[in-house]
Amino acid sequence: MTDSTLTIRVDEELKAAFAEAARAQDRNAAQLLREYMRTVVREAREKQLHDTWFREQVAVGRRAAENGDVRSSEDVERQFAQRREAARKS
């Protein structure tokens, strides 16, 4: 992987405070910024995966409803009441 340079403008006071906070963690500002960037990228990917999963689940539900493959809320509650009871007994 080739390194690249990122230039940003920040207030001098913020820069000094950030550098001090980094030193307090035995790191430098660049290390902390790279870690933060990785965190932001990871969280964005996780959000995208969740959004994709959620949209797929909604599509499954819609198809089931369109096909008449639905249960009443009473049926669902009865099923989970049985599951809760079985779990209490075990």
pLDDT, position 70:
84
Q: Tell me what the pLDDT averaged over the chain comes to.
A: 95
* 7, 50, 71, 73 from 45: Cα distances, Å: 24, 9, 34, 34
pLDDT digits (tens, 9 = 90+) for 42-75: 999 999 999 999 999 999 999 998 998 888 889 9
Please compute Rg for the chain using Cα positions.
25
Q: What confidence category does residue 20 fall into, taking pLDDT thresholds of 50, 70 and 90?
A: very high
Q: Looking only at Cα atoms, what is the longest distance across the chain? A: 64
Is the overall model pTM greater than 0.85, yes or no? no
**Cα(first)–Cα(last) distance of the chain, in Å?**
53
